[in-house]
Amino acid sequence: MPEFLIKEDRFELDGKPLQIISGSIHYFRTVPEYWRDRLLKLKACGFNTVETYVPWNLHEPREGQFNFQGIADVERFIQTAADLGLFVIVRPSQFICAEWEFGGLPAWLLKDRNLSLRCADKAYLEKVDNYFKVLIPKLAKYQCTNGGPILMCQIENEYGSYGNDKEYLLFLERKMREYGLNIPLFTSDGDAHYYLRGGTLPHIFKTANFGSRPKERFENLQSFPGFFGPPMCSEYWNGWFDHWGEEHHTREPEEAVACFKEMLEMGASVNFYMFHGGTNFGFYGGANCGGERGYAPMVTSYDYCAPLTEEGNTTKKYDLLRELLQDYRADTDDYGVFPPAPTAAYGRVALTESVPLRLSAPRLAEMQTSRPILPMEQYGQAAGAVLYRTHVPGPNPSTKLQIRDIHDRAHVFINGTRIATIYRNDESYDIEDVCFPDADNLLEIIVENMGRVNFGPYLHDEKGITDSVCLCPPHQHLFGWEVFPMELDDLSSLVYSDAAPTEYPAFFRGSLEIPEAPKDTYLRLIGLEHGSVWINGFNLGRYWNSKGPQKTLYVPAPVLKQGKNEIVVLEYDSVTTPEVSFEAKHDIG
């Protein structure tokens, strides 16, 4: 079988030199029906390899329960690439960053508050081992040594930006080998030596991630003591991601391609990150945290200003790359010009039914109880929203309610009336001059998880209320909570009314009739502010109209069906016009 080797100054496959020209496409950010299209366009552009992360939280959403179906069918994605004649680089390290919820780590790890992430903590390594025991054999079948397309696998991701535990890295390497990988393994870090000192091992192939100044970056990488092999950039950032409340990031095609050309002419191997970004469907968008901006969640679009747009259309950047790579192509097939994906403007849809989220909580989750208030992970919850409920004796005409450490956005109710909405970035979580008018008052707090931190020192990002709720005076902690951990992964139990909602947050429902085979379309939330959207039970992702930059959500045709389509919107703040509009063009800023 072919053998992929790392020589002193080059890669070799079956004894022949190979310059890896790779592009990142994440199978979990594109519906499976479109995988072949995106991969074919990668090959037609002149790339010989596709790279993908593997998110642990997608494949083991609950401990011991594994998912490799539908958008999680990584084997189908790899086989599709192989069928098209592409090589594959897989990054199955349990942490992926990738602007993905919790960097790919499953939220259930946070239930054990004594567990330490991304180090040789015995409890953590046991969880990783159980996951690798299932995942790695699936990948091993597709190694080039078994006649498959996979050339290399990564053991950890930018670990030098987080830690320096060599025992932990050795454990990952050992387990990947134990469960069947016999191809080269690598690490990827920043090119500065302090990253490399923490993030890699002497005998492991080292790559660098960067977006500019390739000569300088490769000189730094290759001057690291013990470096071996050819220079490789495992993430060439040709675009960037977006946070809510910031501008849409772009990068000029000519400048991005010129930098890429410089690397190729140096003989370096490169992974173009991203070649096709795709979408943070559902609740899988991550977040950054720290500095002046505080908590910064990702938008739903992961367009990344990539050569292929979120919907898979070619761009000027694609055309320039295709022209550049004509001299590097391994085949001479003429793939022609790829026309834009057909889209449809299905028009406006009235959301005629509604039901409050707070009143629906018993239908969406089984009630749990706890003496102190706890983060959602302690109730076994990963995503969605959590409702906390307790009774406060009164009357108390004027007090201060302190909600300590909200992750990420809270709606506070007293006796069924919303009195405040608090965001994680607010200067204070105190609510002044609160009245508890009755002898027995019902305090309810709905907290939305807007995405766990995916990079940096604040990775341990519990959700919900992570400290306490107090009355001041008399600085009294409130105990005795009833809790509804609403994952919002199944909304079929909701009971709607034709009446206008009596409060927010609230669900709205409408229907769209499509008489013919569906086409891609884009959903605009008219007169709505902030929430999430489901179509036919598929969670498209979050919207936040006043923050932007994204104003429409991408709706892939396979999510729709000919005939009646159910649209459900969870609006947290308020609605002026309960309508959505299906449009033919995307608006992401």
DSSP secondary structure of 227-288: --S--EEEEEESS---BTTSPPP---HHHHHHHHHHHHHTT-EEEEEEEE--B--TT-B-EE
Q: Are 561 and 511 in contact (CB under 8 A)?
A: no
Amino acid identity at 169? L
Of 302-306, 442-446, 473-477, 567-571, the poorest mean pLDDT is in 473-477
Strand order in 4-6's β-sheet? 4-6, 11-13, 16-18
The angle formed by the CA atoms of residues 407, 410 and 416, to the nearest 5 degrees, is: 150
Q: Find the mean pLDDT for residues 259-283.
A: 98
Give 513's strand partners: 564
* Distance from the Cα of residue 107 to its chain's centroid: 13
Same domain, 195 and 206: yes
Of 38-52, 145-159, 188-202, 329-343, the poorest mean pLDDT is in 329-343
Same domain, 286 and 401: no
Amino acid identity at 31? V
CA-CA distance, 295 to 92, in Å (whole number)?
27
Give me Rg for the CA atoms of the chain: 25
Same domain, 27 and 122: yes
Cβ-in-10-Å burial (0-12, 13-18, 19+) of 340 comes to exposed
Q: Whole domain around residue 35: which residue ranges?
A: 4-328
Q: Are 482 and 541 in contact (CB under 8 A)?
A: no
Confidence of residue 1 (pLDDT cuts 50, 70, 90): low
Give the pTM: 0.97
Same domain, 69 and 21: yes
Q: Are 345 and 582 in contact (CB under 8 A)?
A: yes
Whether residue 58 is predicted with pLDDT greater than 80 in this model: the reply is yes
Whether residue 2 is predicted with pLDDT greater than 80 in this model: the reply is no
Can you give the pLDDT at residue 405? 94
Can you give the pLDDT at residue 378? 98
- Report how far apart the first and last C-alpha atoms of the chain are (Å, whole number): 49
Same domain, 404 and 433: yes
Assigned domain for 589 exists: no
User: Which of the pair, 502 or 151, is modelled with greater confidence?
Assistant: 151
| Three-state SS at 138 | helix
Same domain, 415 and 469: yes
Q: What percent of the chain has pLDDT over 90?
A: 96
Can you give the pLDDT at residue 406? 97
Strand order in 368-370's β-sheet? 368-370, 481-486, 385-393, 440-448, 409-414, 417-423
Assigned domain for 342 exists: no
Number of domains in the chain: 3
Confidence of residue 328 (pLDDT cuts 50, 70, 90): confident
What is the domain-level CATH number for residue 467?
Answer: 2.60.120.260
DSSP secondary structure of 482-505: EEEEE--S--TT---BSSPPSSSS
Summary mean pLDDT of the chain = 97
Q: Find the mean pLDDT for residues 193-216.
A: 98
Whether residue 49 is predicted with pLDDT greater than 90 in this model: the reply is yes
Assigned domain for 171 exists: yes
Amino acid identity at 392? V
Whether residue 331 is predicted with pLDDT greater than 80 in this model: the reply is no
Whether residue 92 is predicted with pLDDT greater than 70 in this model: the reply is yes
Confidence of residue 294 (pLDDT cuts 50, 70, 90): very high
Amino acid identity at 445? I
Q: Find the mean pLDDT for residues 445-454.
A: 98
Q: Are 347 and 515 in contact (CB under 8 A)?
A: no
Assigned domain for 321 exists: yes
Domain final position from 464, 486, 508? 486
Q: What percent of the chain has pLDDT over 70?
A: 100
Q: Find the mean pLDDT for residues 172-197.
A: 98
Same domain, 318 and 374: no
Q: Kindly state the tokens that stand for 36.
A: 């072949």
Catalytically annotated residues: 158, 235
Give 25's strand partners: 276
Same domain, 38 and 69: yes
Assigned domain for 341 exists: no
Assigned domain for 334 exists: no
| Three-state SS at 303 | coil
Same domain, 434 and 515: no
What is the domain-level CATH number for residue 158?
Answer: 3.20.20.80
DSSP secondary structure of 403-441: EEEEESEEEEEETTEEEEEEETTSS--EEEEEEE-SSEE
Domain final position from 462, 486, 510? 486
Q: Find the mean pLDDT for residues 98-121.
A: 98
Whether residue 13 is predicted with pLDDT greater than 70 in this model: the reply is yes
CA-CA distance, 308 to 92, in Å (whole number)?
24
Domain final position from 459, 486, 513? 486
Confidence of residue 417 (pLDDT cuts 50, 70, 90): very high
Same domain, 244 and 309: yes
Give 319's strand partners: none
Whether residue 88 is predicted with pLDDT greater than 90 in this model: the reply is yes
In the chain, % helix, strand, coil (3-state, to 5) comes to: 25, 35, 40
- CA neighbor of 501 nearest in space, from 348, 359, 349, 350: 359
What is the residue whose two structure tokens read 């403007």?
345
What is the residue whose two structure tokens read 């095609």?
253
Assigned domain for 335 exists: no
Q: Find the mean pLDDT for residues 493-510.
A: 96
Same domain, 388 and 502: no
Same domain, 290 and 418: no
CA-CA distance, 162 to 459, in Å (whole number)?
9
Q: Are 531 and 588 in contact (CB under 8 A)?
A: no
Stretch (H or E) spanning 348: strand 347-350
